[in-house]
């Protein structure tokens, strides 16, 4: 049952991302333009203090790989990245891009470079050209089982298949910055973390019938997520000796968590943790 839910939920996320690609193809210059259905100024205002104009740069031979923007939240384990890859001599950067959904497999001559995801969970990589530069957009959801053993700041690596050290391909790290931008709610069933990017509900038991309802301060429904309709991804994680079940969803549009008034799990209100 769990595997079926995870697979179907992953397909739903991929379909949403592909629909955004079709809508915004060849006009994307920010994380907002690519990943979110609504890239209005109101949406950008929600995370203006957390969207990082990163600037981390790795230069390998003629290739310049620059992390332009990052938007990552540690409690929900969700993140978005935007890279620009260029050639120092002004040549077009080769890339292996799927013609159907713009997913990126590799880039560089002879498929030299690969972005590799070191955590457990969903990671989607897409690319398009802006002139001769390659624009790369990555989204991820961390669901690693052994949470305490993971350095999430290094969950994405760049592998260079041309360089081999001790019988392994050389890898480069990007030190991803994760913000603490969430509100926490809880009841006897578990703890729910919610950020502008999405939510994560952590409990000690599997809940086949799970409905998460978000309401504003006037008790009006903002949105509702139903596990029986495969809207939430399900995975296990360990924190020390404790095994927990977590349910996660990435929002299609950013949520202003200041406007959030109430959260219900199966019609039972959660209390906000102080």
Per-residue pLDDT of the chain (274 residues; tens, 9 = 90+): 434 444 344 444 444 444 444 333 444 678 888 888 667 888 889 998 899 988 899 999 999 999 999 999 999 999 999 999 999 999 999 999 999 999 999 999 999 999 999 888 889 999 999 999 999 999 999 886 555 566 888 899 999 999 999 999 999 999 999 999 999 999 988 999 999 999 999 998 888 889 999 999 999 999 999 988 778 888 877 666 777 899 999 998 999 999 999 999 999 999 999 7
Query: Cα dihedral sign for 192, 194, 199, 200?
Result: negative
Task: Look at residues 137, 153, 173 and tell me which one is the last residue of a structural domain.
Answer: 173
Dihedral angle, C-alpha 79, 22, 231, 140, nearest 10 °: -20
Q: Tell me which residue of 219, 9, 250 sits closest to 138, measured CA to CA.
A: 250
Asked, for residue 187, whether it belongs to a domain, the answer is yes
Distance set, CA 96 to CA 18, 108, 118, 126, 136 (Å): 17, 9, 21, 10, 12
What is the distance between the alpha carbons of residues 93 and 271, in angstroms, rounded to a whole number? 51
What is the distance between the alpha carbons of residues 247 and 232, in angstroms, rounded to a whole number? 6
- Please report the pLDDT score of residue 28 as a whole number: 63
Does 35 share its domain with 167? yes
Q: Which CATH number do you get for residue 195?
A: 2.60.40
Does 112 share its domain with 40? yes
- Please report the pLDDT score of residue 233 as a whole number: 87
Residue 212: other Cβ atoms inside 10 A: 22
Q: Could you give the number of structural domains in the chain? A: 2
pTM here is 0.85
Helix ranges (DSSP H) in 29-141:
31-35, 41-46
- Please report the pLDDT score of residue 11 as a whole number: 42
Does 54 share its domain with 187? no
What is the distance between the alpha carbons of residues 210 and 266, in angstroms, rounded to a whole number? 6
Task: Look at residues 126, 145, 173 and tell me which one is the last residue of a structural domain.
Answer: 173
Distance set, CA 69 to CA 39, 73, 146, 173 (Å): 15, 14, 28, 16
Does 146 share its domain with 22? yes
Does 169 share its domain with 192? no
Does 131 share its domain with 263? no
Asked, for residue 90, whether it belongs to a domain, the answer is yes
Task: Look at residues 152, 173, 194 and tell me which one is the last residue of a structural domain.
Answer: 173
Asked, for residue 178, whether it belongs to a domain, the answer is no
DSSP strands (E only) in 11-112: 52-60, 63-73, 78-87, 95-97, 104-107
Asked, for residue 66, whether it belongs to a domain, the answer is yes
As given in the structure block, the two tokens for residue 80 are 């978005």
Does 205 share its domain with 169? no
Asked, for residue 11, whether it belongs to a domain, the answer is yes
Asked, for residue 213, whether it belongs to a domain, the answer is yes
Which uninterrupted H or E stretch holds 39? none
What is the distance between the alpha carbons of residues 115 and 257, in angstroms, rounded to a whole number? 32
Query: Cα dihedral sign for 188, 189, 191, 193?
Result: negative
Task: Kindly give, in sequence order, each residue whose CB lies less than 8 Å from that of residue 79, ignoring residues fewer than 6 positions away.
Answer: 70, 71, 72, 73, 139, 140, 142, 176, 178, 197
Domain that holds residue 242: 183-272
Does 17 share its domain with 78? yes
Asked, for residue 206, whether it belongs to a domain, the answer is yes
Does 101 share its domain with 236? no
As given in the structure block, the two tokens for residue 270 are 């959660």
Does 86 share its domain with 30? yes
What is the distance between the alpha carbons of residues 194 and 241, in angstroms, rounded to a whole number? 25
Does 169 share its domain with 216? no
Q: Is 155 helix (H, G, I), strand (E, B) or coil?
A: coil
- Please report the pLDDT score of residue 240 as a whole number: 66
**With b meaning 16 or more CB within 10 Å and e meaning fewer, what string describes 71-108?**
bbbbbbbbbbbbbbbbbeeeeebebebeeeebbbebbb
Which uninterrupted H or E stretch holds 22? helix 2-24
Asked, for residue 121, whether it belongs to a domain, the answer is yes
Residues 232/247, Cβ–Cβ less than 8 Å: yes
Does 100 share its domain with 11? yes
């Amino acid at each position: 049952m769990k595997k079926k839910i995870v697979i179907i939920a992953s397909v739903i996320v991929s379909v949403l991302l592909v629909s955004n690609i079709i809508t915004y193809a060849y006009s994307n210059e920010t994380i907002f333009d690519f990943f979110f259905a609504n890239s209005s100024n109101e949406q950008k205002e929600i995370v203006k203090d957390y969207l990082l104009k990163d600037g981390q740069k790795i230069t390998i031979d003629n290739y310049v790989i620059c992390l332009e923007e990052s938007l990552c939240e540690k409690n929900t384990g969700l993140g978005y990245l935007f890279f620009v890859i260029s050639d120092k001599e002004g040549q077009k950067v080769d890339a292996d891009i799927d013609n159907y959904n713009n997913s990126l497999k590799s880039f560089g001559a002879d498929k030299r470079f690969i972005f590799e995801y070191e955590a457990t969970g969903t990671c989607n990589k897409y690319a398009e050209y802006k002139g001769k530069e390659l624009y790369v957009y990555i989204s991820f959801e961390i669901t690693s089982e052994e949470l305490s053993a993971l350095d999430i700041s290094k969950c994405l690596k760049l592998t260079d298949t041309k360089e081999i050290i001790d019988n392994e391909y050389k890898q480069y790290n990007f030190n991803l910055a994760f913000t603490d931008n969430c509100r926490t709610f809880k009841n006897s069933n578990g703890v729910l973390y919610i950020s502008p990017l999405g939510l994560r509900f952590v409990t000690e038991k599997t809940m086949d019938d799970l409905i998460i309802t978000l309401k504003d301060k006037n008790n009006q429904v903002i949105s509702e997520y139903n596990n029986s309709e495969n809207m939430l991804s399900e995975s296990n994680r360990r924190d020390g000796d404790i095994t927990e079940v977590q349910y996660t969803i990435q929002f299609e549009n950013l949520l202003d968590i200041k406007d959030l008034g109430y959260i219900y799990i199966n019609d039972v209100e959660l209390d906000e943790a102080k």
